[in-house]
């Protein structure tokens, strides 16, 4: 755990007691700080009290001796309406920071890589961490990704913190200047929390705050908002700037073109890896992630062959287009995290032909927007509460389907048909476009169950000696 030595004997409050909030409270207490905690949720307060923390209502308690409140980024502190504790703290001149700011103050000797964007942050962050580790670099990976940063081991000189940064966290992190800062893309999101689109863009731009040479800005240029930020950075000329694109050539950057990842950061437009050779980074949305990770790791001083070799072994994120097995050329892909049509669209755009497993608790938007991908679907296999609703939708699209009810039945039927037909490039795809709660506790449990069913199917297929299998990934 990170040693917050500079907080020893100081009074400090923690507002919000989720996973990161509790980790923060523990780190502060272990470092000798006088810790007070609060959460509006009584269950969270009870959990903290059970660990021996002083639970104090920050909306009414005396805060006069505090200089700092470590704030959960998920709690509004400005828009759409600031939490009363935030208003009270600011009136008293108490700083609001998040746990990542505490990390920055404690780990002044390590390198910092920050990744933000509306989409792709988690994949890119994890991929960068994977490459650095494969190259023998000491790296800690966390932040918005889910690993609380104050649970890291001491990093120190020669180590690197690879941090996924949400717009909320960027607003509450003041002292870190990222050695390499990555902005992938910007599309409308969380607008109420930022007072509109301009506020959201301004929060994302904070990833580049105070960067000067030789620090590097890696920035996607496939949307108009990021193109404007890129132009502004170029005009200011404060840092090294490498643009990235999944849509084609960008001078002086890294991009996807003609099925290759191309490196033009040295002005040579060198093809570095064939994108089809990166099985966990399929689809145009992942090409941007691959370009960003390559550029970041090159900026961090890793040799190109080491970067490419590590990218090829990246296992992907669990439950996000995760390859969990192959048999006779049929791929089995777990995209359980796709709980709505927008998320499922990315998977449908990636594979062809598809034996599609879908259903669960439908969202209000249903399958709207997926009509253009139905030509890729060889057969659909329906599960859960949405079965009849989705059957009607598929009828309207002229897509063949089977009502299966449960995931085990759907997986078996989809595998049976795919392995019987053995079409080139075929994929059994769990991308439900639904919440999981009708049959599973969460999307993770759903994806884990799918992976188990696939493992059994692959093992049985191998035991028959019927064709070749790549085994379970």
Binding residue numbers: 117-123
Which two three-digit tokens encode residue 50? 């059970």
Binding-site residues for ATP sit at: 117-123
What is the three-class DSSP state of 239? coil
Residue tagged active-site, from 138, 190, 363, 413: 190
Query: What does the alpha-carbon distance between residue 156 and residue 274 come to, in Å, rounded to a whole number?
Result: 36
Interacting residues of 335 by C-beta distance below 8 A, sequence separation 6+? 319, 320, 321, 322, 343, 344, 347, 429, 430, 431
Instruction: Please give the full DSSP string across 422-470, using - where no structure is assigned.
Output: --TT-EEEE--SEESTTTSSSHHHHHHHHHHHHHHHHHHHHHHT-S---
**CB of 128 closer than 8 Å to CB of 113:** yes
Interacting residues of 224 by C-beta distance below 8 A, sequence separation 6+? none
Which two three-digit tokens encode residue 313? 């072994």
Strands 322-327 and 270-274: unpaired
The pair phi, psi for residue 126, each rounded to 5°, is -65, -40
The pair phi, psi for residue 168, each rounded to 5°, is -65, -45
Q: Give the number of other CB atoms < 10 A from CB of residue 64.
A: 8
Query: What does the alpha-carbon distance between residue 471 and residue 346 come to, in Å, rounded to a whole number?
Result: 25
Query: What does the alpha-carbon distance between residue 354 and residue 394 come to, in Å, rounded to a whole number?
Result: 14
Residue tagged active-site, from 77, 83, 121, 204: 121
**Which of 446, 466, 455, 213 is CA-nearest to residue 337?**
446
Residue tagged active-site, from 77, 83, 144, 289: 144
> Longest Cα pair distance anywhere in the chain, in angstroms?
74
Query: What does the alpha-carbon distance between residue 199 and residue 209 come to, in Å, rounded to a whole number?
Result: 15
Interacting residues of 232 by C-beta distance below 8 A, sequence separation 6+? none
Catalytic (active site) residue 363: no
Catalytic (active site) residue 456: no
Q: Is the dihedral of CA 463, 464, 470, 473 positive or negative?
A: negative
Which two three-digit tokens encode residue 468? 């070749």
> Could you give the angle at the alpha carbon of 461 between the alpha carbons of 459 and 464, nearest 5°?
110
Catalytic residues: 121, 144, 190
């Amino acid at each position: 755990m990170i040693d917050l030595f500079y907080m020893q004997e100081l009074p400090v409050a923690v507002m919000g007691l989720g996973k990161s909030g509790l980790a923060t409270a523990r780190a502060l207490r272990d470092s000798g700080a006088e810790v007070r905690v609060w959460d509006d949720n009584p269950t969270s307060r009870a959990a903290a009290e059970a660990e021996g923390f002083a639970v104090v209502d920050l909306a009414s308690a005396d805060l006069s001796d505090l200089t700092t409140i470590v704030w959960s980024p998920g709690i509004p502190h400005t828009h759409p309406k600031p939490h009363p504790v935030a208003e009270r703290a600011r009136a008293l001149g108490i700083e609001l920071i998040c746990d990542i700011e505490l990390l920055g103050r404690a780990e002044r000797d390590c390198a910092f890589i920050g990744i933000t964007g509306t989409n792709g942050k988690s994949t890119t962050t994890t991929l960068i961490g994977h490459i650095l580790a494969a190259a023998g670099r000491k790296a800690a990976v966390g932040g918005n990704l889910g690993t609380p940063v104050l649970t890291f081991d001491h990093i120190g000189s020669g180590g690197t913190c690879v941090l996924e940064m949400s717009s909320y966290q960027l607003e509450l992190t003041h002292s870190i200047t990222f050695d390499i800062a990555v902005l992938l893309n910007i599309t409308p999101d969380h607008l109420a929390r930022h007072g509109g689109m301009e506020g959201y863009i301004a929060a994302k731009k904070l990833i580049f705050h105070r960067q000067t040479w030789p620090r590097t800005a890696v920035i996607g240029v496939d949307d108009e908002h990021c193109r404007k930020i890129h132009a502004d950075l170029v005009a200011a000329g404060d840092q090294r700037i490498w643009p990235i694109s999944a849509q084609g050539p960008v001078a002086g950057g890294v991009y996807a073109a003609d099925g290759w990842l191309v490196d033009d950061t040295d002005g040579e437009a060198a093809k570095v890896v064939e994108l089809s050779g990166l099985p966990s980074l399929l689809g145009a949305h992942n090409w941007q992630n691959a370009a960003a990770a390559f550029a970041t790791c090159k900026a961090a001083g890793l040799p190109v062959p080491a970067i490419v070799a590590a990218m090829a072994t990246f296992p992907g994120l669990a439950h996000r287009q995760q390859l969990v097995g192959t048999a006779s050329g049929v791929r089995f892909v777990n995209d359980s995290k796709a709980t709505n049509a927008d998320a499922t669209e990315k998977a449908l755009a990636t594979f062809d032909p598809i034996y599609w497993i879908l259903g669960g608790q439908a969202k209000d938007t249903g399958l709207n927007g997926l009509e253009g991908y139905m030509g890729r679907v060889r057969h659909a296999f329906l599960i859960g509460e949405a079965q009849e609703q989705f059957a009607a939708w598929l009828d309207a699209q002229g897509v063949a389907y089977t009502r299966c009810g449960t995931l085990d039945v759907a997986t078996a039927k989809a595998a049976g048909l795919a392995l019987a037909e053995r079409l080139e490039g075929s994929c059994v795809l769990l991308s439900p476009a639904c919440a999981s709660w009708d049959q599973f506790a969460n999307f993770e449990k759903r994806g884990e169950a799918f992976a188990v069913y696939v493992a059994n199917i692959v093992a049985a297929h191998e035991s028959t000696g019927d064709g070749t299998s790549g085994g379970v990934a």
